[in-house]
Amino acid sequence: MGLAKLATVMRRQVASGGTRKDLQISPSEHVLEPKPNPLIYVRDRLLPAPLVKMAVASSRLFPPAFRRLLGFVMLLR
């Protein structure tokens, strides 16, 4: 249920004297919220994989002094 519909139901409850029956929502007031796309989660998990592989490869290839210099240059940009 969306927040707007919940606020409408709560206002109706206060205006009518506050019975429990007023809290029930009719099927016409029910708001269908879209289901999240599972492909988005796959993309979010796959994006860091090559970045981690590049970080591990660079840590093996370059000495620590060069990595510090490279990081410093990237911070200055």
Q: What gap in Å lies between CA 20 and CA 45, rounded to an integer? A: 45
* pLDDT for 59 beyond 80: yes
Q: What's the pLDDT at 38?
A: 73
Sequence ranges of the domains in the chain: 1-33, 35-77
* pLDDT for 2 beyond 70: no
Q: What's the pLDDT at 76?
A: 94
Q: What gap in Å lies between CA 45 and CA 73, rounded to an integer? A: 29
* pLDDT for 63 beyond 80: yes
| ∠ CA 11-17-22, rounded to 5° | 60
* pLDDT for 53 beyond 90: yes
Contact 16, 22 (CB under 8 A): yes
Contact 29, 5 (CB under 8 A): yes
Average pLDDT, integer, range 38-46: 76
Q: What's the pLDDT at 77?
A: 84
